[in-house]
Structure 1
């Protein structure tokens, strides 16, 4: 059968004309029975009266006590009515349905939205997600830090220095005194060298040692302090450098240089102290100095490319060969 707009409209009005006018809808709440009548209470009954009426009827119609036909069905109906009316939000929706029976589809929506809605508190879900992210964040930093230590341990430069430090501190003396398998001795030596590297080498940037203060949970808990600290820094910055006109301090010069180069804190730390000092001395936060610095960088890159063998081969090719069809099209 072909579905037309006329058919849809006729079906809608037929359904709407058959809707109940007593506020009771089959399949919702207590069906065609009034929940208050099922428990034999008024709509003004409080929770104490509701509980008292439920216990009285439950004892009367409980299947273990009442063996009459229909007692079990009546007991389930009483329990269902009590579950609806004891919940404040469900009772409010039910009362609204009784007072506004014409909003048929809205009652269906409210009822099934409550039935299928998750029962878990949203705050618990948010806390769980933050906890998961925090644990993953810490473990990820720990794995990166472990990889960095392993890489330094494999480099001859750092390994030889670690051996020298371990010998100077006498950490290697007690390892070979006892006769043990070579694998066990080697594992203990590696553990000592790893500990020496962790103590002597300052690993910065994205591979730095993980700290609890960097995880999301702690950052959220400390956010009021960070907000206060930021506004205090902003006020002091305006007071010292905008109002009083003082020269930038070393730490603030480093901050301005990092911002001028568009580097994150991690990238800035990975540059190294010597390069940081060199960039700060150029006063790159001043527009003219930054433009001159960029121009010099581009010139150095051009000279470097010109001196490279790959670029020279490309220039010789372009000089002695005709451009191809694709190059002509360009």
Structure 2
């Protein structure tokens, strides 16, 4: 049994060596069956060489295409042979006319040992969809713009619904609705409707009043079509020019000429010191903004003093907070939590 096993093993090794030798022979010249032109050289198929220009390759292809076009042959055998040759020539031309494909093919001829790399390079061009990058970019920007605009409207409606539930704004909206006769008119018209339907319509009236009368600012403000990505990109040259003008004006007026800051510039400096975006700043109360201006927080020293004062006030609030007291008491008694490994 052991002799038979050894003989079988030797036969298997011999077969493996034979197959490996054949595979090396096919790739030693850079030709791989199933890739590009198979075991043929694409340049030889078209009758050109690796130094030939693209125009020469196109000229050779047109000549061979006229010769081997199936319509040029009448007999059945000649027609079948022409179909095979025409496909062979067309395949070689498809590979060599494209710069990327030709580059990969030349790389295979120069590096026949990189077997798996050639498969990747070949199927990368065959499988990857040839879609215009501009179309993909335009569709992507359009989708982002639609989502951005829809999200802004959703935030705005969420803010309106919330404000209607706030007693202060709800009462004001009800007073306006009664003054304008909106609620009474609705009730007279809708006696035939259920109480639920009447209540829903009254809520809609109140939401409309809040939307018309309230000036919602910040991230929940009414969407602006000029804030979507498409229009930001289209108007970006204009915005860039305006920024350069604004920056040059700032340097000239306040750095070179040493002029005093106006209210607009003071607000800008305060906002930058506080590290707030424009939408976050717009959400601030007008009384609070007036306080910032009265405190002259655009002056660095005043701002740092105000910031320190706010931090101290926050510490006092935390010290008076019951939960924070419990936390400090726990930390004082037990210290920070620790993770231990191994036996205690």
Give the one of 193, 217, 231 matched to 1:181: 193
Q: Are positions 1:294 and 2:307 aligned together?
A: yes
In structure 2, the residue matched to 1:217 is 230
- Superposed CA RMSD in Å reads 3.9
In structure 2, the residue matched to 1:27 is 34
Give the one of 231, 240, 243 matched to 2:256: 243
Give the one of 200, 209, 220 matched to 1:207: 220
Deviations 1:24-62 (A, max 9, x none): 553332223455765789976564774575366342489
Instruction: Normalising by structure 2, report the TM-score.
Output: 0.73
Q: Are positions 1:79 and 2:87 aligned together?
A: yes
Q: Are positions 1:156 and 2:156 aligned together?
A: no
Contact 1:30 1:81 in 2 (8 A): no
Gaps of at least 5 residues in structure 1 are 2-10
Displacement of 1:235 after TM fit? 0.3
Q: 2: distance between equivalents of 1:46 and 1:142?
A: 58
Displacement of 1:122 after TM fit? 2.2
The size of the alignment, in residue pairs, is 308
Q: Are positions 1:256 and 2:263 aligned together?
A: no
Instruction: Describe the shift of the 1:294–1:19 C-alpha distance in structure 2 as closer, same or farther (beyond 3 A).
Output: same
Contact 2:36 2:92 in 1 (8 A): yes
Instruction: Describe the shift of the 1:59–1:163 C-alpha distance in structure 2 as closer, same or farther (beyond 3 A).
Output: same
In structure 2, the residue matched to 1:142 is 153
Deviations 1:82-140 (A, max 9, x none): 25425764377549957994333486665343223332222222222222222221122
In structure 2, the residue matched to 1:5 is none
Moved more, 173-182 or 250-259: 173-182
Contact 1:240 1:246 in 2 (8 A): yes
Instruction: Describe the shift of the 1:67–1:41 C-alpha distance in structure 2 as closer, same or farther (beyond 3 A).
Output: farther
Instruction: Describe the shift of the 1:52–1:160 C-alpha distance in structure 2 as closer, same or farther (beyond 3 A).
Output: farther
Displacement of 1:172 after TM fit? 3.1
Classify the secondary structure of the residue corresponding to 2:187. Answer: coil
In structure 2, the residue matched to 1:7 is none
Instruction: Describe the shift of the 1:99–1:237 C-alpha distance in structure 2 as closer, same or farther (beyond 3 A).
Output: closer
Instruction: Normalising by structure 1, report the TM-score.
Output: 0.76
1:7-156 equivalences under 5 Å are 15=24, 19-20=28-29, 25-33=32-40, 35=42, 45=56, 47=58, 50-51=61-62, 53-54=64-65, 57-60=68-71, 67-68=76-77, 71=80, 75=83, 78-79=86-87, 81-85=89-93, 89-90=97-98, 93-94=101-102, 97=105, 101-104=109-112, 105=114, 110-156=121-167
Give the one of 180, 194, 201 matched to 2:207: 194
Displacement of 1:247 after TM fit? 1.2
Q: 2: distance between equivalents of 1:259 and 1:193?
A: 37
Instruction: Describe the shift of the 1:102–1:70 C-alpha distance in structure 2 as closer, same or farther (beyond 3 A).
Output: farther
Q: 2: distance between equivalents of 1:60 and 1:97?
A: 31
